[in-house]
Amino acid sequence: MTEMMGMTMRSFALILASAVTLGACVPVTPPAAPPAQSPSLSPEQAVINFREVIDRVEPVAEQVCREQTPDQLCDFAIYVDRDPQSGVNAFHTIDDNGQPAIIFTIGLIAVAANTDELAFVMGHEAGHHIGRHLPQVQASADLGAQILTQIARASGINEAALGGVAQVGAVVASRQYGRQAELEADAIGTIIAQRAGYDPLRGADFFTRIPDPARSFLATHPPNAQRIETVRRTLAGRVPGA
């Protein structure tokens, strides 16, 4: 494991660039909007909780990664974005060293109610890597751009406008796939958190404190209730969505 608590903004920019190159990170839990209620943890306790979760969950995430995708690099780099303007967020990408990376904002660490929530979030982000969501989102976006461009060309749209059409197709396709990827990452994250000794269902309580995503065609996340149900079904040994 690589841990960089004092991450520089230059390094963070390089990581974001890597994510964009790979088709952008799959939108992750939790959304950037702050939770309606924040737990009354001291900053010191929040840091203690975070370090405990990193120490316990990362080895399990690595083990699950190697079990399910032995051909992938499974040594996770853990970063903290200390910019208070970054909101409440966490995401998976590939860092500038080629490692799978999980990035937590300081805002998320501060508002997590307990170690179960942090463990579930970390397992979820590792689940994006295990599920190969970055390359799949890129492939989905490429296909969406190609299909919509072909439709637009066949309907006689001016060639100069096709670039914009391709962008729309890419966004629509990647966001549609993104909702499916979120549920898969929730299921994998449930397994990881439970193996590490945490309660994934208690961790999923985070969803009860954040705004429910819009149930629109372009929504990037599934409804919160569906995500909690995915955790329940995974714990019960049932395939999510079945």
Residue 31: how many other CB atoms lie within 10 Å: 18
Q: Is the pLDDT of residue 10 over 50?
A: no
**What's residue 208's pLDDT?**
84
Write down the domain spans for the chain.
Answer: 1-242
Enter the DSSP assignment of 124: H
9 burial level (CB within 10 Å; 0-12, 13-18, 19+): exposed
For residue 53, pLDDT beyond 60: yes
Percent of the chain residues past pLDDT 90, beyond the cut? 44
User: Is the model's pLDDT at 145 over the cut of 70?
Assistant: no
- The answer to which of 22-26, 125-129, 217-221, 229-233 has the lowest mean pLDDT is 22-26
Close Cβ partners of 84 (under 8 Å, ≥ 6 residues apart): 106, 107
- 105: its two tokens: 């904002």
Q: How confident is the model at residue 161 (pLDDT cuts 50, 70, 90)?
A: low
The dihedral formed by the CA atoms of 28, 30, 31 and 32, expressed in degrees to the nearest 10: -110
Predicted pLDDT of residue 207: 85
Angle in degrees, 0-180, between the axes of helices 115-130 and 43-68, rounded to the nearest 10: 30
**Cα distance between residue 47 and residue 37, in whole Å:** 19
* pLDDT digit string, tens, across residues 182-220: 899 999 999 999 999 999 999 999 888 877 765 554 456
Average pLDDT score over the chain: 75
Global confidence as pTM: 0.71
**So what's the pLDDT on residue 26?**
34
